[in-house]
Structure 1
Amino acid sequence: MTPAARLSAAIDVIDAIETQRIPAAKALKEWGTAHRFAGSGDRAGIAGLVWDVLRRRASSAWVMEDETSRARVLGMLKLERGMDVADIEAMCDGSRFAPAPLSDAERKALASRTAAGAPAHIAGDYPEWLDSQLADVFGDGRIAEAVAMASRAPLDLRVNTLKSKREKALASLKHLGATETPWSPLGLRIELGADARNPGVHAEEDFIKGGIEVQDEGSQLAALFSGAKPGEQVIDLCAGAGGKTLALGAMMQGKGRLIATDADKRQLAPIHERLSRAGVHNADVRTPKGDEDPLADIRASADLVLIDAPCTGTGTWRRNPDAKWRMRPGALEVRVKDQQEVLDRAVQFVKPGGRIAYVTCSVLPQENREQVKGFLARQSGFTVVPPEQVMSALWDKAEDFAAAVYQSPEGLLMTPRKTGTDGFFVSIIKRSQP
């Protein structure tokens, strides 16, 4: 397919998303099924265009003064891809499979209009109802933060120290353009272009043998900040598919007791194979059965309880821009309630002197600092470990990292703009000795 044909296809997919109110992934899959002639490169190129439109869904319509699917695509080419009028006009020449030629109004808008002066939620491309929450966290910087959250994320990998070393993995994955992540001592990063397909990391020998895992650098740092140590008893209370469980297992060097569980047993399905491949042999996966408490035998004995809390995922918008436009206020309310419940549940497992690592992939204050404040008000005998102490785990990079993150008495917040990671909040809460 020509670039112009891909552009036409992207317009059709965006139109399906807007008119049928379906997730982008489903719309792309349905388009691919109906157009089997399109190769993998074409599908990746069309998907890249579609995701970029969703990143700039509001600002592109503002620039074009038009909310049609075509207008959003054209506006995206200007805002996200940096194309000028001549380049866009060359793709829209009305030839076979190409979009229709630009109208005078479209040409004028592309040549003269920008997102400057637009309301914050339009310039930053996020739902208007979230503006007050983002202003609470970022103030006047919320547009810049939101724009960074809309940009395409790189592919980050964590080197599993139970099986490999970063130097070895870096050399092995050089052909994929892997470089060291700026903060995590275990991270590798592969930058991705606008139309680039995700590299086949799962087919790499390093992955097959358990030497690397796909994990955003922010998630790696969240696990590192938990301070899990060999010989400790550690509970991953919201383990899901096991991303942070694997990181904790490597930090513990196979020594101690690592327990992984999740309220949703379906989320745990992949964890067994992942633990085996990674060589984590001290993990006990406890799957809920009916009304039974899988942790009924544990009381006040854990050195660390990690809560990778269920959240809105606002910190991962750059990986799933479709999600922010489908998010509703009710979802935030549900997540806040879930977080309160899991935090209060963790109390019974933490021994005196032990700690809770509360982590979200959200940037919203209700899920982060306000959640920690509420916990401290409900539960006596707990204090937050100062962020500067938590960040000391980065050794020689701690000072620079401290200058990059947002700090509060309740914890620290990473963002794509400040740290180049997904948006992650981390709070280490320690239980006092009797």
Structure 2
Amino acid sequence: MTPAARISAAIEVLGDIEARRRPATDALKDWGLSHRFAGSKDRAAIASLVYDALRRKASAAWIMGENTPRAVVLGMLRLQRGLNADAIAALCSGDRFAPEPLTGTEREKLDAAKLDDAPAHVAADFPEWIEPSLTRLFGDDLVAEMQALTTRAPLDLRVNTLKVSSREEAHDALPHLAAIETSLSPLGLRIMPGEDGRGPAVQVEPEFIKGWIEIQDEGSQLAALLSGVKPGEQVVDLCAGGGGKTLALAAMMENHGQIYATDGDARRLAPIHDRLTRAGVRNVQVRTPRGGADAVSDLNGKIDCVLVDAPCTGVGTWRRNPDAKWRLRPGSLEVRRKEQATVLDRAASLVKPGGRIVYITCSILAEENDEAIEGLLERKSGEFEIVSMPRVLEAAGFGRLAGSMRATAHGLQMTPLRTGTDGFFVAVLKKR
């Protein structure tokens, strides 16, 4: 397919997303099934165009003066890809499979493209209704912080110290991936996205199959490290899901002590078993809930550390899931807040006196972060105290990162702008 034909296809896919209000992955899959002549490179390039358009949907529509799929793609080519009006016009020739030629108005809009007078939610491409929450966190940095969430995310790997002696050993075994060492996590390797937005197929690498490396954002790696778990402790990963942080905790504990991995949704636990085997983990007991029963009720009051990787809106992952931002609604935020209160209360009953709860989200919304912590402190009056994050950083050997992470009322916020990671929040509470 020609570059122009790929643009036409991206416009078609965006139209399907708008008309049927469906995730981009579903629309792209259906397009590929109905256009089998398109090769893998074509499909990857089209997906990249679609996701870039979704990243800049509001600002692209602003400069073009309309919100049609065509206008959004044209505006994205100007804002995200940096093409001038002549280059865009050359792609929109009207020839076979190419978009229709630019109108005079479209060319004028592309020539004059500026966001100087755009409101914050347009300039930084996020839903207007969450602006008050974001302003409370970011203040004058709002636009810069949220614009960082419109960029493409790198592919981060965590080196598994149960299988390999050092990050350097894993790095040297993968020279063809052009990975660099992450600047914050001592266990991370980073692969920057290619021109088409894709990273390499790491899962087919022998080192991945042998368990040397796992795919995990640097922010997620840091969140696990800040838990401070130690060999010999009793730990519950209460929202373990596919097991990403469970694996990281097991490596920190050097396979000594016990981790109980569970999740309210048993289906989310399905991948964890194979991952544990591949990673060489021997100190994890997977507790799968059955028939709605609590799978860890026998552990109440016995646990040193409860990790709560809470269900959340995922606002901090918008670099990877740009279509999710436009599907976010106030109702879905309220659902997540109730779920967060439920899992925090469950964690409170599991942890023993002197033990701790490590609360993590991949969100940047105060409602899901500081306010969730405040809710627990009110419901469990006098039972818990906040552990100061400078102390947490020092204890984990990350005191130097205090200036990189944004301090909040009760925790630390990582963001693409400040830390180059997804938007992770971490807070630690100690049971008196």
Do Structure 1 and Structure 2 share a fold, with TM-score over 0.5? yes
Q: What's the secondary structure of 2:421's corresponding residue?
A: coil
Question: Root-mean-square deviation (CA), in Å?
Answer: 1.1
Unmatched segments (≥5 aa) in structure 2:
none
Unmatched segments (≥5 aa) in structure 1:
none
- Whether contact under 8 Å (2:32, 2:38) holds in the other structure is yes
Give the whole-Å Cα distance in 2 for the aligned partners of 1:12 and 1:284. Answer: 47
Give the whole-Å Cα distance in 2 for the aligned partners of 1:19 and 1:346. Answer: 42
Tell me the alpha carbon deviations over residues 369-392 of structure 1, each in whole angstroms, 9 at most, x when there is no partner. 111112112212211111111122
1:351, distance to aligned residue in structure 2 (A) = 1.1
Residues 1:291 and 1:109: Cα distance change in structure 2 (over 3 Å): closer
Give the whole-Å Cα distance in 2 for the aligned partners of 1:113 and 1:384. Answer: 47
Alignment of 1:112-191 (within 5 A): 112-164=112-164, 165-191=166-192
- Counterpart of 1:390, as a letter, is V
- Whether contact under 8 Å (1:224, 1:393) holds in the other structure is no
- Counterpart of 2:403, as a letter, is A
- Corresponding position of 1:387: 389
Residues 1:15 and 1:391: Cα distance change in structure 2 (over 3 Å): same
Alignment of 1:149-298 (within 5 A): 149-164=149-164, 165-298=166-299
Q: What's the secondary structure of 1:284's corresponding residue?
A: strand
1:146, distance to aligned residue in structure 2 (A) = 1.1
Q: What's the secondary structure of 2:297's corresponding residue?
A: coil
- Counterpart of 1:382, as a letter, is F
- Corresponding position of 2:431: 431
Give the whole-Å Cα distance in 1 for the aligned partners of 2:349 and 2:24. Answer: 41
Residues 1:96 and 1:420: Cα distance change in structure 2 (over 3 Å): same
Q: What's the secondary structure of 1:210's corresponding residue?
A: coil
Residues 1:128 and 1:409: Cα distance change in structure 2 (over 3 Å): closer
Tell me the alpha carbon deviations over residues 46-96 of structure 1, each in whole angstroms, 9 at most, x when there is no partner. 000000000001100000112111110000011111111121112112222
- Whether contact under 8 Å (2:238, 2:261) holds in the other structure is yes
1:196, distance to aligned residue in structure 2 (A) = 3.7
Give the whole-Å Cα distance in 2 for the aligned partners of 1:394 and 1:259. Answer: 22
Is 1:349 matched with 2:350?
yes
Q: What's the secondary structure of 2:147's corresponding residue?
A: helix
- Counterpart of 2:16, as a letter, is A
Q: What's the secondary structure of 1:428's corresponding residue?
A: strand
Residues paired across the two proteins, number: 430
1:154, distance to aligned residue in structure 2 (A) = 0.3
- Corresponding position of 1:45: 45
- Counterpart of 2:39, as a letter, is G
- Corresponding position of 2:102: 102
- Corresponding position of 1:412: 412
Give the whole-Å Cα distance in 2 for the aligned partners of 1:346 and 1:113. Answer: 51
Give the whole-Å Cα distance in 1 for the aligned partners of 2:392 and 2:105. Answer: 54
Give the whole-Å Cα distance in 1 for the aligned partners of 2:152 and 2:377. Answer: 36
Q: Higher mean Cα deviation, 357-366 or 407-416? A: 407-416
Give the whole-Å Cα distance in 1 for the aligned partners of 2:62 and 2:408. Answer: 35
1:140, distance to aligned residue in structure 2 (A) = 2.4
- Corresponding position of 1:311: 312
- Whether contact under 8 Å (1:160, 1:213) holds in the other structure is yes
TM value normalised by structure 1: 0.97
Q: What's the secondary structure of 1:305's corresponding residue?
A: strand
- Whether contact under 8 Å (2:192, 2:199) holds in the other structure is no
1:398, distance to aligned residue in structure 2 (A) = 2.9
Give the whole-Å Cα distance in 2 for the aligned partners of 1:79 and 1:351. Answer: 53
1:393, distance to aligned residue in structure 2 (A) = 5.0
Give the whole-Å Cα distance in 1 for the aligned partners of 2:294 and 2:70. Answer: 53
Tell me the alpha carbon deviations over residues 138-172 of structure 1, each in whole angstroms, 9 at most, x when there is no partner. 12221111111111100000000000121111112
Q: What's the secondary structure of 2:323's corresponding residue?
A: helix
TM value normalised by structure 2: 0.98
- Whether contact under 8 Å (1:360, 1:426) holds in the other structure is yes
1:341, distance to aligned residue in structure 2 (A) = 1.0
Alignment of 1:303-382 (within 5 A): 303-379=304-380, 380-382=382-384
Q: Percent identity?
A: 59
- Corresponding position of 2:74: 74
